[in-house]
Structure 1
């Protein structure tokens, strides 16, 4: 039996909207929606206000070093960053949609 992920990094705030109703909340890191900002989307902040989620940079240019530091056991990405798939897969199992 496979164990559930406990340290997820998401590269799109929409994953937070999907995972929250499923009661999957072990998110460690998330990208921001604006360049140069460390702020998460308003909805994401509301859903995860009691969680210690770390910014891993802007979703157009995630900080791979920061992702490595968080030691994720799963990375959820979008097809918009498929160019990073190989690099992300070296950090942790990576799943995404196109």
Structure 2
């Protein structure tokens, strides 16, 4: 709600999208996260049924190396949350 675009988004969307972003400490951490996850796959674009992740820095975008965009798929919510949290917990 504190984001300047929140009011506009609230009027334009019935539901919020399933894309979120977070920044891990490094490229190595991103690789470890993806290797540890059973449900998240690396992707170059979103739109499929499976949960996918995209590391924008690999395309030369001016973002932190560990920035990861995650697009939620149709997996069971409890399974997906447990998988992502488990993959995050496994980072060294």
The interval holding the TM-score normalised by the smaller chain is under 0.3
TM-score, normalised relative to structure 2: 0.26
- Taking structure 1 as the reference length, what is the TM-score of the superposition? 0.25
